[in-house]
């Protein structure tokens, strides 16, 4: 199994110890996180609170999360005047028209997300669409989008969730225009496509840490050494190309949970979970906060004016275990808000993201990048039914209906819930 499918795996040799260590760490940080999460966003103009309770067997705790609004979510007043439109507050509604493409009409779906081809027996997960509470969200119009993007370039920068997303984007656009493959790296993790009739270029850049990182994992995700993460050096895979982009969708997240040695100015300064090393334990919060701050500083101070969508991290839906301990995701319908909660780990990542995004808004000027919050965390949390589960591989139960199969409860089936992310992106571009 490729290490890429589960970007937050810690390596098979230390996952049990790490879960224990992280649990202890969380207890120690509880008071500090409580104080910092409220103080970091005091200056935002508007606050949304997501009151999520425990129910229906999904583990987690209640989360009251503050989200910056200025420059983040597109706002408009609905016709009835009942409330202000926030694209990221809404419900998954039944959508009888179903998906706008299939694995037959979009052969570019990667095998691990091709749930139809791999034999997933149910199909209800295909018939839901995200609907904001107080405004309308038009269905993604590929032809209209391509016309708006004539002579433009988009880049999706991040880990395998970014690649999962760009596949959805590509599938929708390829229904209305010819697309040509123009580049891929050796492992097909970074790729570029072009739509010749519109001179529109679409790229995905594999950069799971957004910063320079030396990763020592084999194709099965087994680590031979700790990751060496340079906190003060951004990844040249995307910075060297940055001036070519008109729009970027950038994201970090769960790769920062892996065991890592931290470098600054070429010297080791600490680590995240390295008990066999005589190093200062700084924790993943330190590395994620520092790297995101550097990313936003780089974009805000660049002379290249680019529209930057920062996508928040995506929660997983493993139940009764994790990816390495028999965890599954067997649900076949979306959650309601009162049925879910965000996990401690996802909440910590999210708090850091919102804190750093708020600082980015303060730094931007009329002549610098336009930062927009692409807040997919909560709406994704409501879709436990949208993952490949055991159907990340071809017909996993063909030989044995009781076979023990590793599940993917992090990435998304294609077609699937992630297609609605593009509805929101297009609307945010239109309304800018």
Show which residues are catalytic. 160, 408, 411
Inter-residue contact 221 to 9 (CB < 8 Å): yes
CA-based torsion, 18, 23, 24, 30: positive or negative? positive
Inter-residue contact 241 to 273 (CB < 8 Å): no
Q: Please give the structure tokens belonging to residue 299.
A: 């974009």
Question: Cβ contacts of residue 194 below 8 Å, gap of 6+?
Answer: 179, 180, 182, 200, 201, 202
Count of residues making up the chain: 432
Alpha-carbon distance of 283 to 259, in angstroms, equals 9
Alpha-carbon distance of 202 to 170, in angstroms, equals 8
Q: Which residue has the tokens 């009835």?
A: 80
Pairing of the two strands 153-158 and 200-206: parallel
Strand partners, 349: none
Q: Is the peptide bond before 220 cis (omega within 30 degrees of 0)?
A: no
Q: How many CA atoms does the CB half-sphere of 138 hold within 13 Å?
A: 12
Alpha-carbon distance of 181 to 165, in angstroms, equals 17
CA-based torsion, 85, 87, 91, 94: positive or negative? positive
Which of 416, 429, 415 has the alpha carbon at shortest distance from 141?
429
Cα–Cα separations (whole angstroms), residue 285 to 32, 269, 349, 405: 12, 15, 8, 32
Inter-residue contact 329 to 407 (CB < 8 Å): yes
Residue 151 backbone phi and psi in degrees, to 5: 65, 20
Alpha-carbon distance of 277 to 273, in angstroms, equals 9
Concatenate the DSSP letters of all residues of 141-155 into one string.
Answer: -HHHHHHHTTT-EEE
Q: Please give the structure tokens belonging to residue 373.
A: 């919050």
CA dihedral 250, 253, 254, 255 (to 10 degrees): 60
Which alpha helices (H) appear in 324-418, and where do they start and end?
A: 344-363, 377-381
Specify the DSSP class assigned to residue 202.
E
């Amino acid at each position: 199994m490729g290490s890429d499918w589960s970007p937050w795996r810690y390596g098979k040799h230390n996952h049990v110890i790490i879960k224990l260590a992280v649990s202890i760490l969380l207890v120690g940080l509880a008071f500090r996180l409580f104080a910092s999460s409220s103080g970091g966003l005091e200056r935002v103009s508007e606050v949304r609170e997501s009151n999520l309770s425990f129910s229906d067997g999904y583990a987690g705790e209640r989360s009251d999360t503050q989200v910056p609004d200025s420059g983040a979510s597109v706002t408009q007043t609905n016709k009835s005047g009942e409330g202000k439109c926030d694209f990221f507050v809404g419900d998954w509604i039944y959508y009888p028209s179903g998906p706008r493409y299939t694995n037959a009409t979009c052969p570019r779906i990667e095998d691990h997300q091709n749930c139809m081809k791999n034999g997933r027996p149910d199909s209800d997960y295909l018939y839901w669409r995200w609907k904001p509470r107080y405004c309308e969200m038009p269905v993604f119009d590929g032809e209209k989008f391509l016309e708006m993007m004539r002579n433009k370039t988009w880049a999706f920068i991040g880990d395998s969730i970014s690649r999962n997303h760009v596949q959805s984007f590509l599938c929708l656009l390829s229904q209305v225009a010819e697309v040509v493959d123009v580049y891929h790296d050796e492992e097909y993790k970074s790729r570029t496509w072009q739509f010749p009739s519109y001179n529109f270029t679409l790229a995905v850049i594999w950069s799971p840490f957004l910063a320079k990182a030396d990763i020592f994992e084999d194709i099965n995700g087994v680590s031979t050494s700790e990751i060496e993460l340079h906190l003060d050096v951004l990844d040249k895979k995307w910075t060297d190309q940055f001036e070519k982009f008109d729009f970027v969708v950038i994201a970090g997240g769960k790769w920062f949970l892996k065991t890592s040695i931290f470098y600054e100015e070429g010297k080791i300064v600490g680590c995240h979970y390295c008990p066999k090393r005589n190093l200062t334990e700084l924790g993943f919060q330190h590395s994620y906060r520092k790297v995101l701050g550097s990313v936003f500083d780089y974009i805000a101070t660049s002379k290249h004016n680019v529209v930057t969508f920062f996508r928040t991290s995506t929660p997983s839906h493993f139940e009764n275990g994790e990816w390495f301990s028999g965890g599954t995701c067997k649900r076949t319908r979306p959650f309601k808000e009162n049925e879910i909660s965000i996990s401690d780990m996802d909440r910590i990542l999210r708090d850091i993201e919102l804190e750093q995004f708020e600082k980015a808004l303060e730094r931007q000027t009329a002549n610098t990048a336009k930062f927009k919050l692409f807040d997919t965390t909560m709406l994704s949390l409501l879709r436990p039914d949208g993952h490949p589960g055991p159907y990340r591989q071809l017909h996993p139960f063909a030989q044995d209906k009781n076979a023990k199969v590793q599940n993917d409860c992090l990435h998304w089936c294609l077609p699937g819930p992630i297609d609605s992310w593009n509805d929101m992106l297009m609307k945010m571009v239109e309304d800018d």
